[in-house]
Structure 1
Amino acid sequence: MNSFNTKTEYHLIKKKKRSSRSGYVYYAGFLNPAGQPKYLKMKSTGQTNKNAARKVAEQWISQGIMMPDGELSYLAEVWTPDSVYVKGRLARGRSMSKTYIAVSKRWIELHFLPYCEKHSITQLSQLDTAFINRWVIHLWEEGKIGPVTVNKVLQAVKVSLGQAARDGLIPSNPARDVEPVAAQEKERGIFTLEEYKKLFSEPWDDFAVYAACYLAATTAMRLGEIRGLLVKNLDLEKGVVHIRTSWQDNEGLKPPKWNSVSHEEGIPLMPGVRGVLQKILNTHRWGANPNNFVFCDLDNADRPLGKDKITNGLYIAMKKNGIDRKAKNLSFHSFRHTMITNMKDDPRLLRHFARHKQERITERYIHLTQEDTTRFEKTVSDRFSFAG
């Protein structure tokens, strides 16, 4: 039941009390002087009688005490470890890394809030679907970030505004019906065996980076797992590596992504890789103590080798060996894609090396190789040789 008084510029809504299953209380909503949406956040008058609620609302107006509108900074605050949104996700058993939280916050600060400021938008209540849609188109036309990233930024804003609606700061999520832009991620490239021979025939300028990449290429280990590898989880006598830890710069050492049957048997190491890793341990800057990182930071024993140091070292080696990483969309993660692709004909080995919780995730890593194409062409040629 609603009532609106044009003279006092407010309206009343009767709502159930939050503190009990029965009983009602009146909330007052005040006209937004900034424009649309029309009303600011509802504020409880604490009154169950309509006339009494009107007196309270009119008193607030005369004293200038109307519910303040939500500040735009709220959108970035949603993406902090202690926010209601993040804690709510974790309480419901949904994973959310600190890195993802930090990146989402940064996206909003870099790509949404400056656009709002440019257009004199300072309050949550000033945001509407049309404005957010224009912003998305602006990002797409500007071209500073790719379409995939545009959609990720949009999703971060949608989440924040959804939480603002749940917190009662705005009546609804104005970004809910804003559609993402057309985006197709470029398929991750994989290495050929010939490219592997070029890369690993001779050690690189930085032997630790060479060893880290060599290990990734032969085990399908992720970069975080390589960086978080501890000496105690490397068994060179048995020739296996146990993947029990991973490193994320915003979180430190943590358990790795889902591991099937905990991999107590470990991932086997090729003889050549064992020799390389043994050399790493023999020349370890901080000593090969069980809890030290295999690939350690040169200035800090409590941190692993830097992510950028490893990836940049890989890119330098690729350039020296005439491998065009941009044309093929190759990265450190391509080692994992390459290994899984080459294991696709052996389902048991594939599951062991991929270590994915869902089979559909593994399927994304399987690429069409030149051998696959040749085999297909031969099959077609054999079966349709009568034609023509």
Structure 2
Amino acid sequence: MSITRLSDGRFRVRVYLGYEKDAKGRERRKLIDRICANEKEAKRLEAQLREELRRQEYVPPTRLTVAGFLDEWLEKSAKPSVKRRTYERYKQLVEKHLKPHLGALRLEKLEPRHVDGMLADLSGKIADRTRLHVYRCLHRAMEVAVRWRLVGRNVCDAVEPPKADDPEMVVLSAEEIDRLLQAAKEHHYHGTADSRFYCLYLAAVFTGMREGELFGLRWEDLDLEEGIAHVRQTVEQGGKHPVFGTPKNRKPRAVPLPPEVTDALKAWKVEQEIERAFYAQGYRDFGLVFTRPNGEPLSPSAFAHGPHQAIVEKAKLPKRLRFHDLRHTFASRALAAGANVRAISEILGHHDPGFTLRVYSHVLATDKAEASEKLANYLRSSPKKQEPGR
């Protein structure tokens, strides 16, 4: 390495990296050549380059912009590795927020202050949780940039993530569950009275399965005699051009079905066969349990804004109640009833029981008080042992 003063008062930092062959096969010296405004800056750069080379973290400069990199990341890394809806969400965040704020910068020039500036500018304009998603999207992309050796570090590591409250969890009481199931039983889909939604809501409350997992459930995945549902696929997009995917964490799992659910499923299967016969050749058979009348998979978006909203209103429940809250209801009620945490974690498809404990710690807080009281009662009622004489 060398530092030389130029005639205009600036300083040149040169680091020699050996030799490389040019396009014509001739050997030429390979080096890093940087110009600094003053000697202090030059010495700091020299020390930085020396350390990066020692750690093998030096990344040659590139003219690639943040926008160009994000486009490449979406297509080459995100699209093949995440679910369709996740990819579409990433793309939306990139196009709507990341590119307008950071896209014109050269990737190698991206600094923590740029990310902080973007997050500050978005504050008050979008929800705090959306700002957090913007940060997480960029963080994940920059991890790939480091792996691809386009940059030497993930600048997001030096940025404090935006704080956002978790979405409010709604857990239904037994009386509210009864009202919801009754409303689902009375709901007419496309003017037809059937039990499809009663069966769907019953399964959600008693199994804790995710919406996409229930929409993707096939009859071949069910063992109604043994009372088991095998979660093997999900619906990512319903309607005429459905897209199916794998369960979250890409792990199939077995979920126990109580008698109430198996009985309802058997009854619904008979109704669905009548529906299939009515549509004849027009029936689109995907082998699914919960479908539109013509056999097409239910669309998560259309379901949320249509039947679900109508059923919630009919049951006179809070409008903020999401279908996903039935999963929370299942888990909360099961844990409050004393169910084993590991078993509930496996039924829900969580990656470990610790995650289940963190999500539903509010439910177990009352259990701690009860456990303490039970211990105190036990100790009070235990016969006093006399101390041995000395």
1:192 matched residue in structure 2: 173
SS state of the match for residue 15, structure 2? strand
- Aligned alpha-carbon RMSD (Å): 4.3
| 2:101–2:118 CA contact under 8 A, matched in 1 | yes
- Cα distance, 1:199–1:233 mapped onto 2, change above 3 Å: same
| Residues 69 and 123, structure 1, Cα contact 8 Å, conserved in 2 | yes
CA displacement at 1:167 relative to structure 2: 4.1
Q: Which residue of 2 aligns with 1:129?
A: 112
Greater shift in the superposed pair: 308-317 or 123-132: 123-132
Q: Provide closer, same or farther for how the CA distance between residues 86 and 320 of structure 1 changes in structure 2, counting only shifts above 3 A.
A: closer
1:182 aligned to 2:184?
no
Structure 2 matches for 1:151-230, cutoff 5 A? 151-170=132-151, 172-201=153-182, 202-206=185-189, 207=194, 208-230=196-218
Q: Tell whether the 8 Å contact from 1:165 to 1:172 is kept in structure 2 after alignment.
A: yes
Q: Which moved more, 1:250-259 or 1:170-179?
A: 250-259
Aligned partner (choices 291, 304, 319) of residue 325 of structure 1 = 319
Give the equivalent residue in structure 2 for 1:275: 267
* TM-score, normalising length: structure 1: 0.68
- In 1, Cα distance between equivalents of 2:210 and 2:365: 26
- 2:8 counterpart of 1:14: no
**What code does the residue aligned with 1:186 have?**
P
The answer for the alignment partner of 1:77 in structure 2 is 71
**Separation in 1, partners of 2:186, 2:4:** 78
Residue-by-residue CA offset, 1:272-311 (whole Å, 9 max, x unaligned): 4543454234424579998522223566x5x521011322
**Separation of aligned partners in 1, 2:364 and 2:144:** 48
Name the counterpart of 2:53: none
Tell me if the contact between 2:16 and 2:32 (Cα under 8 Å) persists in the aligned partners: no
CA apart distance, 1:15? 3.4
Residue type of the partner of 1:325?
Answer: K
Letter in 1 for 2:180: L
Match of 1:294 among 273, 289, 292: 289
Query: After superposition, where does 1:305-384 map in structure 2 within 5 Å?
Result: 305-312=298-305, 313-326=307-320, 330-344=321-335, 345-347=338-340, 350-351=344-345, 353-366=347-360, 368=362
Q: Distance in 1 between matches of 2:6 and 2:98?
A: 35
The one-letter code of the counterpart of 1:69 is R
Q: 5+ residue gaps in structure 2?
A: 22-26, 37-41, 43-59, 378-390
- Give the Cα–Cα distance (whole angstroms) in 2 for the partners of residues 259 and 69 of structure 1: 37
* Letter of the 2:272 counterpart: I
Q: CA deviation at 1:225?
A: 0.9
Aligned equivalents of 1:259, 1:115: Cα separation in 2: 34
SS in 2 for 1:15: strand
Cα separation, 2, equivalents of 1:18 and 1:331: 61
Identity %: 18
Q: Distance in 1 between matches of 2:20 and 2:288?
A: 52
For the pair 1:26 / 2:30, whether they are aligned, the reply is: yes
Q: Secondary structure at the match of 2:16?
A: strand
Instruction: Give the deviation of 1:134 after TM superposition.
Output: 1.4
Q: Is the Cα–Cα contact under 8 Å of residues 75 and 108 in structure 1 kept in the other structure?
A: no
Maintained 8 Å contact 1:224/1:248: yes
Structure 1 residue 122: Cα displacement? 4.2
Residue 127 of structure 2 corresponds to which residue in structure 1?
145
Matches within 5 A, 1:22-61: 26-29=30-33
8 A contact 1:12–1:28 mirrored in 2: yes
Tell me how far apart the structure 1 counterparts of residues 202 and 154 of structure 2 sit (CA, whole Å).
48
**How far is 1:259 from its partner?**
9.4
Q: Deviations over 1:99-127 (max 9, x none)?
A: 3333223212211211246xxx4433453
Aligned to 1:60: none
- Cα distance in structure 1, aligned partners of 2:94 and 2:6: 37
Decide whether aligned partners of structure 1 residues 137 and 371 sit closer, same or farther in structure 2, where only a CA change above 3 A counts: closer
Match of 1:115 in 2: 101
SS at match of 1:343: helix
Q: Larger helix proportion, structure 1 or 2?
A: 2
Letter in 2 for 1:134: G
DSSP 3-state at the match of 2:113 = helix
| 1:82 Cα deviation from its structure 2 partner | 2.4
SS in 2 for 1:247: strand
Q: Verify: 1:97 aligned to 2:78, yes or no.
A: no
CA distance in 2, matches of 1:190, 1:249: 27
- In structure 2, do the counterparts of structure 1 residues 197 and 29 end up closer, same or farther at CA, with 3 Å as the change threshold? farther
Deviation sequence 1:49-81 (CA, Å, 0-9, x none): xxxxxxxxxxxxxxxxx9761123234225435
1:17-41 deviation line (CA, Å, top 9, x unaligned): 899xxx9962345669xxxxx9xxx
Indicate the SS of the match to 1:13.
strand
Shift of 1:186: 3.4
Name the TM-score, length of structure 2 as normaliser: 0.67
Cα distance change, pair 203–167 in 1 and its aligned pair in 2 (3 A): same
